[in-house]
Structure 1
Amino acid sequence: MSHTAPDTPAPGPTPGRPDGRLLAVSDLHIGMPDNRPITESLRPTSDDDWLIVAGDVGELTKDIEWALRLLTDRFAKVIWAPGNHELWTPREEPRQLRGEQRYRHLVELCRGLGVVTPEDEYPVWRGAQGPVAVAPLFLLYDYTFRVPGTATKEESLARAHEAGIVCTDEYLLHPDPYPSRDAWCRARVRETERRLAAHDPSVPLVLVNHYPLVREPTDVLWHPEFAQWCGTELTADWHRRFNTAVMVYGHLHIPRTTWHDGIRFEEVSIGYPREWRRRGHPRGLLRQILPYPEDGKDKEDGA
């Protein structure tokens, strides 16, 4: 099945001015009452600030729409990549859309709000150091980040079930019309790779995905069984193959900066109340992606 953009007109590239910032956040999880005020508090520092939202805004369409409408009213441009929670089909959702239909419905919702999606042209943000193209991606996972010591998807999943660490995606994220989530992932990877290969290599990319493009950030998970729901080995060299300025992701609920092959990776999640109450928000609610504040403090987090 083709994953090219529908005929609906897509937002074209919109240059930002050098006095604006490119900011990012993910995993707002506004279905949790204590997280909604956090979203309400997010504000730009200038009229030219752009905001990347790297997935997991919420589960219900009405909540996703509320949050993205609020943010588009405040920021010069909002760019969204879906998380796994947006793709769930909860019983409370009035329209029981599944898989590809659910995703396409959210894409059209975003377009109605003026939010850039993975199906749209990559917008160009122009800072003092030159332009970058912000590329929101939708890639999913294919169970190749397997539990150490296992050789197949089935064996890795069995180990996770034995440990009692099973992602809710197994019950609520439906791959229709694909036979499996990993088949959907492989289709998304093929189409996204084609688009990235066609991009002008002279314009650096800010790659935005809900999951990290490499496995290494998952090495610090308390439960290694969960890594198999965190990405795919198919993207392990993308930050090297394509001219990447920075990679932005969420999902792990471990906000930090790491470096892989000299490329900066930013995990920008808010996470669940039990998590941010424990660790606070030491890097603030919004991460500044560009211009990069090169004060050296991030290097200690890197690998």
Structure 2
Amino acid sequence: MRLLAISDLHLASDASFERIEALPAYPEDWLILGGDIAESADGLDRAFTALAGKFARLIWVPGNHELWTRARSPAAPRGVERYESLVALARRHGVTTPEDPYPIWPGPGGEHVIAPLFLLYDYSFRPPDLPLEEVVAWAAEESAVCADELLLYPDPYPTRQEWCRARIAATAERLAALPARLPMVLVNHHPLRRDLVRIPRIPRFSPWCGTTLTEEWHTRFRARVVVSGHLHVRHTDWRDGTRFEEVSLGYPYQWEQHYGVAAYLREILPGPVSPGPGAPPAGERAGPR
């Protein structure tokens, strides 16, 4: 029995769905889906259909792409309504979401609380001397503006950063109320720490990668492992004895397709308990495993 994770599948074409439909069954394992699984609600529905029968349990957090509203119709769900529609979709497939009771992992490595989170970002991963109102123009100088600026609506919140703050406050209260006896696995699409955002191809994309409000959540909430995606650069890092796993697959040109998707399922639990000779050093891209 293992707790596995993957994110950023970006399923859109029939070929991409065929890759996950070809996965073997893992009837004893749980799978974390760390966001940006599909490019539409219909695609997410198809992904859940393909994966739910292959794993003992699916745990999902939304990515920014899943929250996009592309349709121009006034009836198209936006913001919180969009998120709630995806939660309802996941529940129809028996998939655990950030709005559900946190499950307890009963397998190897001992009991852990698995906490799927939805926290967003607030542009605080920007240079300290850069005013908030200049972030988009600064990123545009190097063609690094996130499409969220056009497609991810915060309704009914006036801004994405206010939606982020509301999610942070509610989630922190919920995590703090949990019994202290069990370690945790925190799962969020965006990284929880700024120093883990290493994207040399597009460094000015960092404002859309998280919030400094979660920098110390791994120690504050007794995290044994923190799982994230979004960056499309797979890493294993250690901070204060906590393992941080970036588990993105990415677009087809960003991974070795001859390995197959199965090779990129990252083992979260039991996993290594401390950094050792086999652990990639900070900053090194981890290959398929």
TM value normalised by structure 1: 0.87
Equivalent in 204, 210, 221 of residue 225 of structure 1: 204
Alignment map for 1:105-144 (pairs within 5 Å) = 105-144=85-124
Q: Give the aligned partner of residue 254 of structure 1.
A: 233
Range that drifts further, 26-35 or 58-67: 26-35
Tell me which amino acid in the other structure corresponds to 2:129.
T
Mark the runs of 5 or more structure 1 residues left unpaired by the alignment.
Answer: 1-19
The alpha-carbon distance between structure 1 residues 34 and 228, as it changes in their structure 2 partners (threshold 3 A), is farther
Mark the runs of 5 or more structure 2 residues left unpaired by the alignment.
Answer: 285-289
Q: Is the 8 A contact 1:43 1:75 kept in 2?
A: no
Q: Is the 8 A contact 2:192 2:217 kept in 1?
A: yes
* Distance (Å, rounded) in 1 between the aligned partners of 2:9 and 2:221: 29
Measured after TM superposition, the shift of residue 284 of structure 1 is: 2.1
Q: Give the aligned partner of residue 42 of structure 1.
A: 23
SS of the equivalent of 2:106 reads strand
* Distance (Å, rounded) in 1 between the aligned partners of 2:231 and 2:258: 14
For each residue in 1:243-272, what CA deviation from the matched residue of structure 2 results, as whole angstroms up to 9, or x when unmatched?
111000100000120112221000111100
TM value normalised by structure 2: 0.91
Q: Does 1:172 align with 2:141?
A: no
Q: Give the aligned partner of residue 245 of structure 1.
A: 224
* Distance (Å, rounded) in 2 between the aligned partners of 1:138 and 1:68: 18
Q: Does 1:54 align with 2:34?
A: yes
Q: Does 1:183 align with 2:162?
A: yes
* Distance (Å, rounded) in 2 between the aligned partners of 1:64 and 1:213: 24
Q: Is the 8 A contact 1:142 1:185 kept in 2?
A: yes
The alpha-carbon distance between structure 1 residues 95 and 123, as it changes in their structure 2 partners (threshold 3 A), is farther
Measured after TM superposition, the shift of residue 53 of structure 1 is: 0.2
Alignment map for 1:147-158 (pairs within 5 Å) = 148=127, 150-158=129-137
The alpha-carbon distance between structure 1 residues 281 and 112, as it changes in their structure 2 partners (threshold 3 A), is closer
Q: Which runs of 4+ in 1 moved over 4 A?
A: 92-95, 277-283
The alpha-carbon distance between structure 1 residues 302 and 223, as it changes in their structure 2 partners (threshold 3 A), is closer
Measured after TM superposition, the shift of residue 158 of structure 1 is: 1.6
SS of the equivalent of 2:281 reads helix
The alpha-carbon distance between structure 1 residues 280 and 223, as it changes in their structure 2 partners (threshold 3 A), is farther
* Distance (Å, rounded) in 2 between the aligned partners of 1:184 and 1:104: 14
* Distance (Å, rounded) in 2 between the aligned partners of 1:149 and 1:100: 30
Measured after TM superposition, the shift of residue 78 of structure 1 is: 0.2
Q: Give the aligned partner of residue 6 of structure 1.
A: none
Of all paired residues, the percent bearing the same amino acid is: 49
Q: Does 1:267 align with 2:246?
A: yes
Q: Is the 8 A contact 2:139 2:145 kept in 1?
A: yes
SS of the equivalent of 2:65 reads coil
State how many pairs are aligned: 282
Tell me which amino acid in the other structure corresponds to 2:235.
R
The alpha-carbon distance between structure 1 residues 184 and 290, as it changes in their structure 2 partners (threshold 3 A), is same
Q: Does 1:28 align with 2:28?
A: no
Q: Give the aligned partner of residue 11 of structure 1.
A: none
Q: Does 1:206 align with 2:185?
A: yes
